[in-house]
Structure 1
Amino acid sequence: MPQNVSWADFEGPGDGYGYPQARHILSVFPLAAGVFSVRLLFERFIAKPCALHVGIQDSGPYPSQQPNAILEKVFISITKYPDEKRLEGLSKQLDWDVRKIQCWFRHRRNQDKPPTLTKFCESMWRFTFYLCIFCYGIRFLWSSPWFWDTRQCWHSYPRQDFLIMFVHHLATIGLITFSYINNMVRVGTLVMCLHDASDFLLEAAKLANYAKYQRLCDTLFVIFSAVFMVTRLGIYPFWILNTTLFESWEMIGPYPSWWLFNGLLLILQVLHVIWSYLIARIAFKALIRGKVSKDDRSDVESSSEEEDVTTNTKGPCDSSSSNGANRVNGHMGGSYWAEE
């Protein structure tokens, strides 16, 4: 804690409110259960009808693959993507053609992947949640003095404005949990709101993709890319890091947890740079080719993905096909959520 602050200063109410306490984090569990219940209802009674309305069919689970104990053991215990050497060994062991084994693994991988309808419902839920939470954050931060002047984050530390900020940050973990326990709620609200600014755009692009509105998908993805880079590479370092590194040093001085707090924020900025590079590369391809890269993370594979482009003869897997390509890249869609 800073030199003029001790843990005793956080005991008891302050001006009719309360201070952040570590035990408040336990409220995350019932809140998470409530949010999960709302999500199930939303996906079933709102998202699914919307998906059917735009023409996304409930294709059901992918057809089951012919069982094979040896291949199943390799798939579960060793690898889902066997290399050429392993394929040759399995071919000799089973007396199967290599292409037939490749086909088996591809079909087996596809069994674990959700259909487009499921992915649409998930993205619609995330789009709705991120948009609402972003608007909620703007609604309350708009009237807060530290939204316009970040130096206000450090005035009168510790402070007595816990009630509203606690509601906004109850479900956060990691860095935000740390900032909450240390009563850095003001700057924490700025960090959360800044990160919410681009999330709903990503999910909107996915929704357009699942509905096969490719041009709209590409447009939304490019907008998402621009907002992501402006907020993460511009506003975040020059607004957030400026106040946590320099203004806080000037007003309350450094202390042990100050170094940890800013260290985590700097690590986050490094991740921003990495993700921005990946997203920029995908957006560039979208502008050049007219579509963004395929999401290898969640789509059903087609036979062409494992065959050489010069192969023209039919193989044992030619009847399989993709159930619709998700063209929002997996690096962006997977790594990005891990951050939040």
Structure 2
Amino acid sequence: MAGILAWFWNERFWLPHNVTWADLQSTEEAAFPQAEDLYLAFPLAFCIFMIRLLFERFIAKPCALGLKVQANGPQKAQPNAILEKVFTAITKQPDEKRLEGLSKQLDWDVRSIQRWFRQRRNQEKPSTLTKFCESMWRFTFYLYIFTYGVRFLKKAPWLWNTRQCWNGYPYQDFGIMFTHHIVTVTLITFSYVTNLTRVGTLTLCLHDAADVVLEAAKMANYCKCQKLSDLLFLTFAIVFIVSRLGIYPLWILNTTLFELYEALGNFPALWVFNILLVILQILHCFWSYLIIKAAYKAIAKGKAGKWNPLHVAKDDRSDIESSSDEEETVPRSKAPHSSISTNGTGGANGTNGYLTGGTCSEEH
């Protein structure tokens, strides 16, 4: 194991020439990031989780109720041991053969069984109130982190001149870096261990900017403030595209691909970091495409009030299945003509008796 660890943490792979792991050991004169610091991510995660619970219970929920956000969740299916057992086994709509069997066993018509499964699936999805509280927490968290990052970075010389990210490496002040972040991804972990923290602060702060606006747009949408929601979505789209497709490649990738090489020379880990950063840029392009597509549809089709940021964020929990006969909650006894709908085309628009839509009618 010692041999494997020595091979994995080879200095000539991770560090520039003339820099060793010994140079990154903290002393009385200088403090450096240490790999052991990452263990703090676990207690920090627990603390943040507890803060979130308290925030959603005592701050977000009262705010949501004050804004008249819908508190009740999806309609619950009536208890049925047989159907519950089938649902636990498959969780999805039963196929035609199983529907026929359940229809005979329970003496229910097929459409009522389909409705029961639809309502049972909806029970697993959070209410609008719950989603509002989640978005308000993320909005507050991102806003605090972004504001905190800006306050710290505005005094840092490497904000205005990215070449300063590499000056004096590795003997750079430690300062306040990632104590407000839970380090979970490979890119952040390795950049922290190798003390590439200056450029890391720039990257994290840049990515937080659009998240603040997105969560604000979600909250406005849950409050049914559609005009404000639309405005915030368009703002989010602009901030996201400018920051991820403009500032990120011209500011972050420029310094990691060119200025880093000029300042510290070539070493293998440099290319690992850059490959990860380029993959991140590819993801930026993909998400930007989806955002532009959503905005275009809203403008071109004149449906500005019908977008939902949850579709941009790909939050499947917001999808609540419904149909034109949702108000019927008591299953009807099996009728002679019920077999007409067992084909899966007896429901609205021929979609197995139910439609899939969004609670708010509309990701990053």
TM above 0.5, yes or no, is: yes
Answer yes or no: is 1:298 the counterpart of 2:317.
yes
Task: Deviation per CA, 1:254-297: give whole Å up to 9, x if none.
Answer: 21211111111111111111111111111222223123445471
Unaligned stretches of 5+ residues in structure 2: 1-14, 327-344
* 1:19 corresponds to: 32
Cα distance change, pair 284–73 in 1 and its aligned pair in 2 (3 A): farther
* 2:60 corresponds to: 47
Within 5 Å, which residues of 2 pair with 1:206-225? 206-225=218-237
Q: Which of residues 316, 327, 348 is equivalent to 1:308?
A: 348
How far did 1:66 drift? 3.7
Within 5 Å, which residues of 2 pair with 1:117-132? 117-132=129-144
Answer yes or no: is 1:289 the counterpart of 2:303.
yes
Q: Which of residues 30, 33, 37 is equivalent to 2:43?
A: 30
Give the AA of the match of 2:186.
G
Q: Which of residues 53, 64, 70 is equivalent to 2:77?
A: 64
* 2:360 corresponds to: 326
Q: Is residue 285–residue 292 contact of structure 1 (8 Å, CA) maintained in 2?
A: no
Cα distance in structure 2, aligned partners of 1:327 and 1:195: 27
- Indicate the percent of aligned positions where both proteins have the same amino acid: 56
Cα distance in structure 2, aligned partners of 1:43 and 1:21: 34
**Larger mean Cα displacement after TM superposition, 91-100 or 235-244:** 91-100
Cα distance in structure 2, aligned partners of 1:326 and 1:171: 33
Cα distance change, pair 13–126 in 1 and its aligned pair in 2 (3 A): same
Answer yes or no: is 1:4 the counterpart of 2:38.
no
SS of 2:171's equivalent in the other structure is coil
Q: Is residue 169–residue 176 contact of structure 1 (8 Å, CA) maintained in 2?
A: no
* 1:238 corresponds to: 250
Q: Is residue 348–residue 354 contact of structure 2 (8 Å, CA) maintained in 1?
A: no
SS of 1:163's equivalent in the other structure is coil
How far did 1:166 drift? 4.2
Cα distance in structure 1, aligned partners of 2:41 and 2:204: 16
Cα distance in structure 1, aligned partners of 2:185 and 2:35: 12
* 2:118 corresponds to: 106
Q: Is residue 166–residue 264 contact of structure 2 (8 Å, CA) maintained in 1?
A: yes
Give the AA of the match of 1:24.
D
Q: Give the TM-score normalised by the residue count of structure 1.
A: 0.85
Query: Relative contact order (C-alpha < 8 Å, sep 6+): which is higher?
Result: 2
Give the AA of the match of 2:59.
I
SS of 2:77's equivalent in the other structure is coil
Unaligned stretches of 5+ residues in structure 1: none
Cα distance in structure 2, aligned partners of 1:277 and 1:155: 37
Answer yes or no: is 1:227 the counterpart of 2:239.
yes
How far did 1:165 drift? 1.7
Q: Is residue 56–residue 137 contact of structure 2 (8 Å, CA) maintained in 1?
A: yes
Answer yes or no: is 1:273 the counterpart of 2:281.
no
Within 5 Å, which residues of 2 pair with 1:133-172? 133-169=145-181, 171=183
Q: Is residue 114–residue 353 contact of structure 2 (8 Å, CA) maintained in 1?
A: no
Q: Which of residues 85, 88, 97 is equivalent to 1:89?
A: 97
Q: What RMSD over aligned residues (CA atoms) do the two structures have, in Å?
A: 2.7
Q: Is residue 31–residue 171 contact of structure 1 (8 Å, CA) maintained in 2?
A: no
How many residue pairs match? The answer is 318
* 2:198 corresponds to: 186
Give the AA of the match of 1:4.
N
Cα distance change, pair 259–317 in 1 and its aligned pair in 2 (3 A): closer
Q: Is residue 169–residue 180 contact of structure 1 (8 Å, CA) maintained in 2?
A: no
List, as ranges, runs of 4+ consecutive aligned residues in structure 1 with deviation greater than 4 Å. 71-74, 168-172, 304-307, 315-318
